[in-house]
Amino acid sequence: MNYRHNTPAMAGVGTSDVLSGMEWLGSEERTNYPLTLSVEDSGEALGLTAQVVEPISADRVCGYMQQVLEQLAEALEHAPNRPVRDLDILPAAERSYLLEDLNRTAADYPSERCIHELFEQQVRRAPEAVALVHEDEELSYGELNARANRLAHHLIALGVRPDQPVAICLERSPAMVVGLLAILKAGGAYLPLDPAYPSARLRQIVEDAAPRRLLCDAAGRAALGPRGACRSDGGRSGDGHPGLGRPVR
């Protein structure tokens, strides 16, 4: 933010005299900042100059500032006790653009399909495409689906039935995504538990919800304590048995 004084020409010395014989071609200023705003004070009026990098629009920046300054000046003159939070800092066109134009996202959505069914549709469309990246690990849609299927079959074998709650207490990892998909594929409803929560709070949630099974990793087991949880290895345990990765029906 710069405030620049542009002193008017001295009396008796006209601009035309100073620039006589010179042709104005243009000017260029450089800055090390992505956005620089300058207030030009000519002594009789104020102006705004914005220097921005693409794709920022200099006109939009000046429009913001003009609206803010107008609202501030009006409040100082007519309502000095008005809270700053009540100032309308967006030009009408900008407000319409942000709240209406950018939110025109209506689109047809297959609301009759479940999330895991939509995921499987993407698996069929691009099985080799990368579906999940975590630190140095990548899983394709096909790999992620196979792991989720293996774990889903295991949950079904343990007695998980449609609409039964299954608690899942895992740290953020590929295993967490595998677990969520597996629970949905098995027909269950997942109950998310954060292993960072206090153990007493987690146990209270488990007792209230009474999930059919607890799905957890080492962090979840430590947080929950010994409760006969089904420990998740992210669906890796069936890697040597391709049949366990078959679709869940």
pLDDT score recorded for residue 168 = 95
Say whether both 146 and 218 belong to one domain: yes
Asked whether the predicted pLDDT for residue 16 surpasses 80, the reply is no
Q: Cα–Cα–Cα angle for 8, 10, 16, nearest 5°? A: 80
- The CATH number of whichever domain residue 123 belongs to comes to 3.40.50.980
Q: Is residue 225 part of a domain?
A: yes
Say whether both 241 and 120 belong to one domain: yes
The pTM of this model reads: 0.57
Say whether both 222 and 177 belong to one domain: yes
Q: Is residue 56 part of a domain?
A: yes
pLDDT score recorded for residue 11 = 47
Residue 15: which pLDDT band, with cuts at 50, 70 and 90? low
Mean pLDDT of 33-61: 85
Q: Cα(190)–Cα(213) distance, rounded to whole angstroms?
A: 10
Q: Cα(182)–Cα(155) distance, rounded to whole angstroms?
A: 8
Residue 107: which pLDDT band, with cuts at 50, 70 and 90? confident
Say whether both 91 and 139 belong to one domain: no
Q: Check whether the bond before 55 is cis (ω within 30° of 0).
A: yes
Range of the domain at 43: 2-8+29-99
Say whether both 171 and 208 belong to one domain: yes
Asked whether the predicted pLDDT for residue 20 surpasses 80, the reply is no
pLDDT score recorded for residue 243 = 44
Residue that wins the pLDDT comparison between 64 and 17: 64
Say whether both 170 and 127 belong to one domain: yes
Say whether both 182 and 75 belong to one domain: no
Q: Which residue has tokens 């299927």?
A: 149
Say whether both 146 and 78 belong to one domain: no
pLDDT score recorded for residue 119 = 96
Q: Is residue 104 part of a domain?
A: no
